[in-house]
Structure 1
Amino acid sequence: MDSEYSAQDVARCDLCKIAITQNYCDSCHVNLCKPCIVEHISADDGKHTIVPFQRRKSTLILAKCEIHQNKTCKYQCQDCDIFVCSDCAMSKQHKGHEYLKLEELFNTSKERIGKDKEDLDRILPTYEEIAIELENQIANLDEEYEKLTTEMSKQREEMHREVDKAINQMEEEICEIKLKHHNILKEHLNDIKQVQSLMQKTLVSLNEIEESNEVSPTIHYNSKVEEFRKLPPKVNISMPKFILTGKQGQCTK
């Protein structure tokens, strides 16, 4: 790599690009070697402030006075809150006003800026740590929510199994209740049909007796109507009801 552009190379003159920098123009902000100082100063009629390289940027850059073009502002008028030159300070417009030197204000501001910089340098790492933590949380967000979704899916499957188990058990119970009710109704129906059959036989006998002229059967007839007049009890089957309680359901008769 060319030593002229090496990050570890010493500062080079901005004019010749070869010689090592020894001076600095605080007015133009350029690095200069000693041979190039004359060339730089003679390049234009502007004012140049040449200082050793170690003292670069030590010369204050003062604003030109808007009223006295050949003067620089060295003071701040406290009453008017504007920068003024020495001629302005002595004018009638600023008579009796108080002034502060811009150099003193500059140094005070520099101290305040330096303190703010130190404070920010101390605070910034904390923000960097917070930012890194948030970035890690964002990076892990999808993974954590994927775990949560997977756990919910497993829980849903488990709940489905529990529900299926409970429903299957209730279906078995319903089948048993249905069979019991079927047997009760069938038994009662058989009893009714037996009574019906007996009543029909009795009617046939009564018809025969009624049409017959035989004395003995008619006289010895015993009525059985009272036996049939007493109706059998009515059988009502109550259907079971499905009641959902908590995580499981149950059937009640």
Structure 2
Amino acid sequence: MAAIAIFIVLQISAMDPRTSAQDVMRCDLCETAVVQMHCDTCLVNLCKSCVGEHISKDESKDHKVVKFQFRKSTPLYPGCNHHVKERCEMYCNQCDIPVCVYCITSDQHQGHKILPVMQVCEEMKDKTIKERNELNETIYPTYQDIASDVQNRMSQLEKEYGDLSTAITKHGEDWHREIDKLVEKLKAEVDEMKNTQLQTLQKHLDEINKTMSDIKDEIDSVEMVIDTNDLSKLFSVESSIHAYRRLPHKIMPSLPKFIPGKFEVDEVSKLFASLSSSSLTSDKHGYSMKTTQKSPEAGSSPPVKQLLDEPETVTTIHTGYGHLYNVSCLSDEEIWTRGNDKTMKLYSINQGSLLKSITTKSGNKPYDIAVTQSGDLVYTDKSDRTVNIVKNEKIEEVIRLQNWIPRGVCSTSSGDLLVIMDSDDFKQTKVVRYSGSTEKQTIQFDDQDKPLYLSGLYNRYITENRNLDICVSDSQAEAVVVVNQAGKLRFRYTGHTPAPKNEPFNLRGITTDSQSHILTADHLNDCVHIIDQNGQFLRYIDSGLSEPWGLCTDTNDNLFVAHTKNKTEVIIKIKYMHIK
């Protein structure tokens, strides 16, 4: 096999123009004359004068000397390991080795399938050429793309770790400012206490100095009486010595004590901040082989679809809710719903029948529902500030918030949860990405540190687009707010004029489809807006809708709308696209 492999490599090399000579080639023997001949047996380049000398050097070989331009045209069969001077022109398929004519007649290969070695070589050559072409055209370019992807990830990692360090520094500066404010406040309190006590002592000192002045005056008047012989003056002296014998109270100022707060370094570290652990995961399905085929299977892009001129209502599902708010597809046959009570219901889409009911753990009505990639139901409970997941009909609390109220929730393509939430005082709104119960990302402000979302008691729902954009229907702002995966604002969609009923843009549910269209319910205008992934308005779906609220799409891009029909809460299935 080694000999055949060498033969194949030589044959391929002979066909490859990259290995052909670019300069004038010289005879391998005399090294001066220009090459004219070639020995296919010895693979030696010769001039005509040196042909005889080359053959005479080893007459045991069957030298195949041809013109140089016909070099390697004579097959160089491998030598036989068992029969000296014999060439193997055949190939034993069972033993997988080249054989000569003597080998074929031996008992060792009796009954074996024997093929011409050239046939085997041609097959191996074809296979090798195909593998070489695959290496050149597919595998190597794929590895180039992978290397580029890794380099991009490294660059992105550098940036994100830089942003992380900047955030830590900013947080430290915030703490320093607060500590400086606290120090200044304590020092101001000390100054105020000092000034109060000094004023009290100064007043006391002034009273003592006045008394001392009075005593001095009395001493002087007594001295005058003592020195006179006028007895009447002596009888007129009224002494105040009894009053002066009552010494003033002694005022003792008491200094406040500075009692530094006791803390442990570990406790301060926990109060200041913490870092979740980093990780590196390996996904063997993360890359796909580069291909040059022009087919839908060749890439990750979905089939191209166009919007129908007239959307069609396919199915209507009646529910028992007094008010129906949210819908989320479990599959193309089943859909989860939630209304104005504590029960979430699973319906058969085709049959319209109730399949299952789940009651919230707290007994409160859920705010929003979603279905994870693994098919589990997720719901938010704003009354007890939790995000919960239903697995095998058992409810698990995934997230419990402090000082924040969860609103809309969605499950991402990576398996994370995106939750939009309001602060307790309804003055702040943000989107938080969770992996399990671990907070991974917070999205709240734009590049100018202005809030991305308006706060207040209005409806907010969230979804992830196919291009990984995060889309929020912000009813307070009357806008669809779209940020990229990193949380950078891409655009705000504030409606289209004229609206079907000329009412203000009144957003409710939001969803996306395989074409990265964004669909949002307009409650007051009885319609659904369809915009593209860049925020350009495409069309309304307004036929037959009344006060639409919740939206979702299935894998075939059918739209499900929760709305009111004849004062009854129903889900309608709408076909609005077809495959191009």
Q: TM-score, normalised by structure 2?
A: 0.28
Secondary structure (helix, strand or coil) at the match of 2:122 reads: helix
Match of 1:54 among 56, 69, 90: 69
Question: After superposition, what is the alpha-carbon deviation per residue over 1:191-233, rounded to whole angstroms, capped at 9, x for unaligned?
Answer: xxxxxxxxxxxxxxxxxxxxxxxxxxxxxxxxxxxxxxxxxxx
2-side partners of 1:8 and 1:71: how far apart? 36
Amino acid at match of 2:64: T
Secondary structure (helix, strand or coil) at the match of 2:115 reads: strand
Match of 2:178 among 148, 157, 162: 162
147-156 or 8-17, which moves further after superposition?
Answer: 147-156
Partner of 2:90: 75
Name the structure where strand makes up a greater proportion of residues.
2
**Where does 1:109-124 land on structure 2 (aligned, <5 Å)?**
109-122=124-137, 123-124=139-140
1-side partners of 2:23 and 2:108: how far apart? 54
Is residue 78 of structure 2 the alignment partner of residue 63 of structure 1?
yes
Partner of 2:105: 90
Partner of 2:54: 40
Match of 1:26 among 40, 48, 66: 40
1-side partners of 2:102 and 2:160: how far apart? 73
Question: After superposition, what is the alpha-carbon deviation per residue over 1:36-76, rounded to whole angstroms, capped at 9, x for unaligned?
Answer: 21121122223322122233233333233233323211222
Closer, same or farther: CA 165–128 of 1 in aligned 2, 3 Å: same
Deviation at 1:121, TM superposition (A): 0.9
Amino acid at match of 2:52: V
**Where does 1:1-253 land on structure 2 (aligned, <5 Å)?**
8-45=22-59, 46-122=61-137, 123-131=139-147, 134=150, 149=165, 152-153=168-169, 156-173=172-189, 176=192
Deviation at 1:104, TM superposition (A): 0.7
1-side partners of 2:130 and 2:95: how far apart? 29
63-72 or 26-35, which moves further after superposition?
Answer: 63-72
Question: After superposition, what is the alpha-carbon deviation per residue over 1:61-114, rounded to whole angstroms, capped at 9, x for unaligned?
Answer: 323323332321122223333332112223344333221111111111111111
Secondary structure (helix, strand or coil) at the match of 1:51 reads: strand
Percent identical: 40
Closer, same or farther: CA 11–128 of 1 in aligned 2, 3 Å: farther
What's the C-alpha RMSD, in Å, of the aligned pairs?
Answer: 4.5
Amino acid at match of 1:166: L
Q: TM-score, normalised by structure 1?
A: 0.57
Closer, same or farther: CA 95–41 of 1 in aligned 2, 3 Å: same
Closer, same or farther: CA 147–34 of 1 in aligned 2, 3 Å: farther
Q: Which runs of 5+ in 1 are unaligned?
A: 1-6, 187-238, 248-253
Q: Which runs of 5+ in 2 are unaligned?
A: 1-20, 202-256, 264-270, 273-580
Amino acid at match of 1:96: G
Highest CA radius of gyration, 1 or 2?
1
Secondary structure (helix, strand or coil) at the match of 2:38 reads: strand
2-side partners of 1:104 and 1:125: how far apart? 32
2-side partners of 1:139 and 1:170: how far apart? 46
Secondary structure (helix, strand or coil) at the match of 1:119 reads: helix
Question: After superposition, what is the alpha-carbon deviation per residue over 1:16-55, rounded to whole angstroms, capped at 9, x for unaligned?
Answer: 2222222211222221122221121122223322122233
Partner of 1:219: none
Deviation at 1:148, TM superposition (A): 6.2
Question: After superposition, what is the alpha-carbon deviation per residue over 1:119-167, rounded to whole angstroms, capped at 9, x for unaligned?
Answer: 1111323423543665687699879867865675465345323321232
Amino acid at match of 2:34: I
Name the structure where helix makes up a greater proportion of residues.
1
